[in-house]
Structure formats: C-alpha cells, structure tokens
Amino acid sequence: MERSLDEIIRCIGHGSTIIEFGSGASRKIRLLLETGMISEYVPIDIAKSFLEESSDQLSSDYKENRLLSWINNRKF
C-alpha cells in the first residue's frame, strides 16, 4: 500500500468517499486519511466490537472526515 500510495491518490481525487469491505483495524486507510484527499470513509466488517473500537479511534484521530461504520453479519 505504501509503495502505491501516490498512484492511489492520483486515481481517487480530492474529496473522495472510500468504502472498505473487511476493514479490520483500518490501518491501511490511515495512509489515505493522512493525505487529506478523503472526505468520507465507510468501513464495513462483520466483527461488530472490533469495528466499533477502530471506528471510534478513527473518528477521534480524523475529526475532519465523515466516518460511517457498517456492520454486516448477514448470512447469505
């Protein structure tokens, strides 16, 4: 991810919304949030407590970004 960061930034554009399936601890998204290019981030995961914890931390660390968490535990 770090090696491709410049290319990703060129592709997404300023003010983008990122939707990440299987976001886990949301470690990789921090690289993009630090650039200021993302205005909205939507992490999606099945691990409710883990997602809530990481979302709370991201909301605290990146107050200028809109964060919408989605927990998906539906069985298909």
Average pLDDT, the chain: 84
Q: Residue 65's domain spans which residues?
A: 5-71
Dihedral angle over CA of 5, 29, 25, 70, nearest 10? -140
Domain count, the chain: 1
Query: Residue 13: inside a domain, yes or no?
Result: yes
Query: Residue 76: inside a domain, yes or no?
Result: no
CATH of the domain at 56: 3.40.50.150
What pLDDT score does 73 carry?
A: 59
Residue 13 has pLDDT above 80, yes or no: yes
Mean pLDDT, residues 25-47 taken together: 87
**The pair of three-digit structure tokens given for residue 45, joined into one six-digit string:** 């995961």
Query: Residue 49: inside a domain, yes or no?
Result: yes
pTM score of the predicted model:
0.78
DSSP state letters, 7-63: HHHHHH-TTEEEEEET-TT-TTHHHHHHHT-EEEEEEEES-HHHHHHHHHHHHHH-T
pLDDT tens digits, one per residue of 37-58: 888 888 888 888 888 888 888 8
